[in-house]
């Protein structure tokens, strides 16, 4: 029992400054984390006093910071002549553990982690606090999606005396800034350099200056450029801006955050259907804690469960996001559906607006109404009751405009399944429905169909460019198969088939998402080089012992203009009973 009220349960982590315990606050009856300072044996009394002082300084530094991406400090108590820091207990894994155990992190998640940590550092620097040890081991990805910067154990307040001895450098060699490695004066840009190394390590799976030896690594930090990236893609410019050797030229918080937000609204935009997107402020999908009830099956629609708020900038409110005011993202950027923080009513997103009568008439209204009812049915009962009145008004208005469109003398004939949808289509090109073997998806109108019969696939080929095509596959899958695992197996096939995928093969990204309310995965890849280089993207869903997938491939030169074809297939994807 610490401080007469905190009962230690089990150690949950160890670091250079001590051990973190899971504990119970017997007064408030809640679980907390308690940090214990572990002193090395044989330490001189003066060094012991310095370590105690450093621990107290960590508590003062962290307690002064109020931000969703900074761990909250509750209390500091003295027990047996030494301090113990009481903090919020986070169900999380460190970013270091994620990279070690799962491999490199997807670019979109890294961008959101970067925005969260930029917010944490911004609020710290505004309070005169330098972290001085930003690294993956000190970044926690919580089960609710929050990204939290921890361990201000080597933080320095402006009024604190310098506790390091001459020649001693605090921090990790891989993540130290050049100015600190050379013993020069440093400030907030030093933390931003460490952040750049952290994000680089997350997306590439390795630090940019690693030489295998601490001294050689620090020499590389000062003298050598970072190792070229192979997975960063559009994030490369942001990483290089944060890894600039000269602190005066290094990206600051507003610059880096603005670039990351533009990427999230553009090249790294979520491919999930708008009405199925989860909390856009969580850096990763929420995970289930060991003591929580089992998560719903992948083919069930999401509930109203909310993730974390790590993507909110300091001082930014949810009303700002709704109104598109300050901090609401880059001007002209697409507006993502908004979820409220835990404890507030999520803002409903009704999906796309109802189509005019000329694009499906009452049958289109019925289909959208069915999707809406299915979505609302998954919400908690009190939310359904609260929205019932508004829903009735919406449906009445939809019905009114549908009937009005039906009577319009200038209306056109409703579109039939399988026929080109033409101008009324939401896609930037004419489409037709492919409805075979339990899958319904829009493909470009007028493209030549092949395959089918006894084969597992259907091809649609651009009649003006045989190098552009989409393929739709329905294959048997094991009961333990996952979309990511399926695409990893497909990737092995791509690597081994030089005819359809010329060498060299390179993966651009492999990410998880959602299609038609089900967990999906998406593989983006390149094949060949020079004028023969090809670029493809492949999506997959597993359901009922079947793998439903489709990919779009084109030359590298035409990939940008062809990518909307794949995006339309993702948006229109449905599983049918046939």
Q: What is the pLDDT of residue 450?
A: 87
Question: In terms of pLDDT, which residue wins out, 513 or 340?
Answer: 513
- Which secondary structure element, helix H or strand E, spans residue 188, and what is its range? helix 188-204
List, in sequence order, every residue forming a beta bridge with 514; answer none if it has no partner. Answer: 519
Contact 179, 245 (CB under 8 A): no
Residue 325 in domain: no
- The Cα 546–Cα 2 span in angstroms is 55
pLDDT at 351: 33
Domain end, chosen from 206, 235, 265, is at 265
> Structurally, how many domains does the chain consist of?
4
Q: Is the pLDDT of residue 472 over 90?
A: yes
Q: What is residue 119's predicted lDDT score, i.e. its pLDDT?
A: 94
| Rounded CA separation 547/474 (Å) | 6
**DSSP letter string, 20-33:** EEEEEETTTTEEEE
565-578 mean pLDDT: 87
Q: Which of 248, 111, 119, 233 is nearest to 177 (CA)?
A: 248
Copy the structure tokens of residue 46.
């003066």
Residue 128, domain member (yes or no): yes
DSSP per position, 345-371: PPPP---SPPPPGGGTHHHHHHHHHHH
Percent above pLDDT 90 for the chain: 33
Which DSSP letter does residue 156 get?
Answer: B
- Please give the pLDDT value at position 248: 93
Please write down the HEC assignment for all residues of 38-80.
CCCCCCCHHHHHHHHHHHHHHHHHHHCCCCCCECCEEEEEEEC
The residues near 555 (Cβ < 8 Å, ≥ 6 apart) are 467, 468, 533, 534, 535
Shared-domain flag, residues 135 and 147: yes
Give yes or no for residue 15 having a pLDDT over 70.
Answer: no
Provide the annotated active-site residues: 133
Radius of gyration of the chain (CA): 27
The pLDDT tens digits for 36-51 are 877 666 778 787 787 7
Q: Which of 334-338, 391-395, 453-457, 539-543 is the least confident region?
A: 334-338
Q: What is the residue-averaged pLDDT of the chain?
A: 74
CA distances 463 to 421, 446, 468, Å, are 18, 8, 9
Greater confidence (318 vs 119) lies with 119
Least confident of 103-117, 286-300, 437-451: 286-300
27 inside domain: yes
* C-alpha–C-alpha distance, residues 189 and 180, integer Å: 11
Residues 514 and 569 in one domain: yes
State the residue for tokens 């931000």. 67
pLDDT band at 16; cut points 50, 70, 90: low
How far is it, in rounded angstroms, from Cα 60 to Cα 114? 25
Mean per-residue pLDDT for 528-535? 86
Claim to verify: residue 104 and residue 83 sit in the same structural domain: no
Give yes or no for residue 64 having a pLDDT over 50.
yes
Q: Residue 245 annotated as binding?
A: no
The residues that bridge with 413 in the sheet, in sequence order, are: none
Crossing angle (nearest 10°) for helices 107-126 and 253-265? 150
Mean pLDDT of 310-317: 39
Domain co-membership, 74 together with 222: no
Q: Assess whether 246 and 200 both reside in one domain.
A: yes
| Separation of alpha carbons 440 and 541, rounded Å | 13
The predicted model scores a pTM of 0.49
Whether residues 56 and 148 fall in one domain: no
CATH number at residue 170: 1.10.510.10
- Contact indicator for 175, 135 with CB cutoff of 8 Å: yes
**Local confidence band at 426 (pLDDT 50, 70, 90 cut-offs):** low
Most confident of 13-17, 211-215, 313-317: 211-215
Which of 102-116, 167-181, 216-230 has the lowest average pLDDT? 167-181
For residue 21, what is the domain's CATH number?
Answer: 3.30.200.20
Is 125 contained in some domain? Answer: yes
Question: In the predicted model, is pLDDT for residue 319 greater than 70?
Answer: no
Give the residue ranges of DSSP H helices in 408-523. Answer: 483-496
Average pLDDT over residues 13-38: 84
Lowest mean pLDDT, pick from 26-35, 357-366, 482-491, 514-523: 357-366
Q: Are residues 398 and 441 in the same domain?
A: no
- Whether the CA torsion 560, 565, 566, 568 is positive or negative: it is positive
For 359-368, what is each residue's pLDDT tens digit? 334 334 334 4
Least confident stretch, 58-62, 202-206, 396-400: 396-400
**Do 435 and 381 share a structural domain?**
no
For 431-545, strand residue ranges (E) read 431-436, 439-444, 448-451, 457-461, 469-476, 505-515, 518-527, 534-543
Q: Which residue has the tokens 């289909």?
A: 367
Q: How many other C-beta atoms lie within 10 A of the C-beta of residue 421?
A: 19
Q: Is residue 504 assigned to a domain?
A: yes
Average pLDDT over residues 376-382: 42
C-alpha–C-alpha distance, residues 92 and 282, integer Å: 13
**Same domain membership, residue 469 and residue 396:** no
| 466, 403: one domain | no
Whether residue 230 has pLDDT greater than 50: yes
187 shares its domain with 104: yes
Query: Which of the residue ranges 7-21, 101-115, 238-252, 410-424 would you say has the lowest mean pLDDT?
Result: 410-424
Is 554 inside any structural domain?
yes
pLDDT at 301: 36
pLDDT band at 281 (very low <50, low <70, confident <90, very high): low
334 inside domain: no
Nearest to 73 by CA among 92, 57, 50: 57
Interval 191-201: pLDDT, tens: 999 999 999 99
Burial class (CB in 10 A: 0-12, 13-18, 19+), 71: buried
Report pLDDT for 539. 95
In this structure, is residue 326 part of a structural domain? no
Instruction: Of 37-51, 420-434, 446-460, give the lowest mean pLDDT range.
Output: 420-434
- The Cα 372–Cα 350 span in angstroms is 7
pLDDT of residue 279: 53
10 Å CB burial of residue 383 (0-12, 13-18, 19+) is middle
Range of the domain at 568: 431-575
**Nearest in space to 508 (alpha carbons), one of 231, 106, 238:** 231
Residues 465 and 371 in one domain: no
Query: Looking at residue 362, what is its pLDDT?
Result: 36
Which of 110-124, 127-141, 183-197, 339-353 comes out lowest in average pLDDT? 339-353
| CA 28 and chain centroid, separation | 34
Q: What is the dihedral of CA 49, 52, 56, 57, to 10 degrees?
A: 70
Confidence at residue 221, expressed as pLDDT on a 0 to 100 scale: 93
- At residue 190 the predicted structure's pLDDT band, cuts being 50, 70 and 90, is very high
Angle between the N-to-C axes of helices 188-204 and 95-102, in degrees from 0 to 180, rounded to the nearest 10: 20
Instruction: Please tell me the distance from the alpha carbon of residue 22 to that of residue 13, in angstroms, as a whole number.
Output: 9
Q: Across the strands, what pairs with 202? A: none
The predicted structure's pLDDT at residue 551: 94
Q: What is the pLDDT of residue 27?
A: 93
Which residue did the predictor score with more confidence, 179 or 164?
A: 179
Cα–Cα distances (Å) from 497 to 312, 443, 491, 504, 528, in that order, read 45, 25, 10, 11, 12
Domain end, chosen from 60, 88, 116, is at 88
Tell how strand 73-79 and strand 30-36 pair up.
Answer: unpaired
Q: Which strands make up the sheet holding 505-515, listed edge to edge?
A: 448-451, 457-461, 469-476, 546-555, 534-543, 518-527, 505-515
pLDDT band at 272 (very low <50, low <70, confident <90, very high): low
Q: Which helix (H) or strand (E) holds 10?
A: strand 6-15
């Amino acid at each position: 029992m610490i401080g007469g009220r905190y009962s230690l349960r089990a150690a949950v982590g160890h670091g250079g400054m001590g051990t973190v315990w899971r504990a119970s606050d017997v007064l408030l009856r809640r679980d907390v984390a308690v940090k214990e300072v572990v002193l090395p044996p044989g330490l001189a009394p003066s060094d012991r006093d310095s370590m105690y002082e450093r621990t107290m300084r960590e508590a003062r530094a962290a307690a002064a910071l109020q931000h969703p991406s900074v761990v909250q400090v509750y209390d500091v108590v003295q027990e047996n002549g030494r301090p113990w820091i009481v903090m919020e207990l986070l169900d999380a894994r460190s970013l270091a553990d994620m990279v070690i155990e799962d491999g490199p992190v997807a670019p979109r998640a890294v961008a959101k982690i970067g925005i969260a940590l930029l917010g944490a550092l911004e609020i710290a620097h505004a309070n005169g606090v330098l972290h001085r040890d930003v690294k993956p081991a000190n970044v926690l990805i919580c089960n609710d999606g929050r990204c939290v910067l921890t361990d201000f154990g080597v933080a320095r307040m402006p009024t604190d005396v310098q506790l390091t001895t001459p020649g001693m450098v605090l921090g990790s060699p891989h993540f130290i800034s050049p100015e600190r490695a050379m013993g020069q004066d440093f400030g907030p840009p030093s933390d931003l350099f460490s952040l750049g190394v952290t994000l680089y390590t997350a997306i590439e799976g390795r630090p940019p200056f690693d030489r295998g030896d601490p001294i050689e690594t620090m020499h590389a930090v000062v003298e050598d450029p970072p190792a070229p990236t192979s997975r960063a893609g559009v994030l490369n410019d942001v990483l290089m801006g944060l890894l600039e050797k000269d602190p005066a030229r290094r990206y600051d918080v507003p610059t880096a955050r603005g670039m990351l937000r533009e990427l999230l609204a553009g090249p790294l935009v979520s491919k999930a259907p708008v009405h199925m997107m989860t909390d856009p402020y969580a850096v990763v999908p929420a995970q289930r804690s060991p003591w929580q009830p089992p998560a719903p099956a992948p083919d069930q629609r999401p509930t109203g469960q909310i993730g974390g708020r790590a993507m909110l900038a300091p001082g930014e409110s949810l009303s700002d996001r709704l109104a598109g005011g300050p901090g609401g993202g880059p001007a002209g950027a697409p507006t993502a559906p908004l979820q409220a923080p835990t404890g507030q009513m999520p803002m409903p997103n009704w999906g796309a607006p109802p189509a005019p009568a000329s694009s499906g008439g009452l049958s289109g209204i019925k289909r959208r109404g069915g999707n809406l009812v299915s979505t609302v049915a998954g919400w908690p009962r009190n939310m359904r009751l609260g929205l019932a009145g508004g829903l009735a008004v919406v449906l009445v208005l939809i019905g009114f405009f549908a009937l009005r469109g039906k009577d319009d003398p200038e209306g056109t004939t409703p579109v039939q399944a399988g026929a080109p949808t033409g101008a009324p289509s939401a896609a930037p090109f004419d489409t037709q429905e492919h409805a075979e073997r339990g899958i319904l998806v829009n493909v470009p109108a007028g493209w030549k169909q092949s395959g089918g019969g006894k084969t597992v696939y259907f091809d649609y080929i651009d009649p003006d460019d045989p190098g552009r095509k989409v393929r739709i596959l329905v294959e048997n899958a094991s009961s333990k198969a996952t979309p990511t695992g399926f695409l990893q197996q497909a990737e092995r096939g791509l690597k081994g088939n030089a005819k359809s995928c010329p060498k060299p093969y390179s993966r651009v990204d492999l990410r998880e998402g959602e299609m038609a309310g089900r967990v999906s995965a998406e593989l983006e890849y390149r094949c060949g080089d020079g004028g023969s280089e090809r670029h493809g993207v492949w999506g997959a869903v597993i359901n009922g012992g079947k793998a439903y997938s489709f990919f779009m491939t084109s030359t590298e030169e035409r990939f940008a203009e062809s990518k909307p074809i794949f995006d339309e297939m993702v948006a229109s994807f449905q599983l049918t009973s046939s």
